[in-house]
A and B are shown apart, each in its own frame.
Chain A
Amino acid sequence: MKLVKKILLYEVHNTIRSRWVIFYTFFFFLVGYALFTFSGEVSKAYISLMNIVLIIIPLISVIFGSIYFYNSREFIEMMLSQPIDRKSLFLGIFLGVAIPLSAGFALGFSIPFLLFGKVTEQLTGFLLLLLLGMLLTFIFIALSFLISVKQDDKSKGLGLAILIWLILAVVYDGIVVMIIYFFQDYPLENTMIILSATNPIDLGRILFLMKFDIAALMGYTGAVFQRFFGSSLGMIISISCLLIWVLLPFVLSSRFFNKKDF
């Protein structure tokens, strides 16, 4: 763990000095600030913020993570020639990217709420969105590392990263709608819950909508989701699913990293 701490410290230094992270923090600040300035209603601002969190965070995290990993390749080689084990180095680099990026989001996201005094108005919503944003950062950086460890070609890796984002953020919903359309005569509640759990972006969206009591807009499926995700057990299960989404790609990529030739 000592080695991880040492690596982490320097990686964090490197990441927070990057223009990306500064721009990213400022972006969330600006969006929140504009939403609260132009729309007085907190719930409307929340829905807009949710959409931005669910689309922008995965996109930026997956691209930033891939570029960072590819650019660190020679440095990783240099570090691996030092007395250090691969697992510590990998964990140090992962946390060194994920912590500053999620902290940048948390900062940029929270300041407008504090400035406009909106934190307490719907505290669960605020905390849930904050948690979701940070979890999605970790998930998509873990996915980007998995791609970068397996794919040596930078342009192919970046293409794959964007493709995965496109599938999870856009195409997946289309597939779900198609399944509902073709199998509308069958009971689909459990299938829908499973389908949602296998996409972290969907999982985040439903989790947030449930907490915001607008599930009624989603008709019968909404009622099923409400029953599942609305309960505290459903909440625990869905957050656990998101944590699995962080751990699974991380553990897999760490294993590949361990065997990789540099």
Chain B
Amino acid sequence: MSDRDLKRWLCLGCGFSYDEALGLPEHGISPGTRWADIPDDWCCPDCGTPKHLFEMVEIPYAPGQPTPQRPPL
């Protein structure tokens, strides 16, 4: 994976994922927003874990995914 590739990050508090390609439009983060461009004081919208406790992952999506991230219910 090169530095130019869009990356995925996983919240180590709950498993919420942030995908640079998808952004989080429902939280005001546009698709294509790099992780580095998200403010340092940003927290997981599901559990409040701070940004620095996310881990970059290279895990592929399940077939048919991703669909836009949404609340679990």
Asked if A and B are interacting partners, one says: no
Residues of A within 8 A of B (CB): none
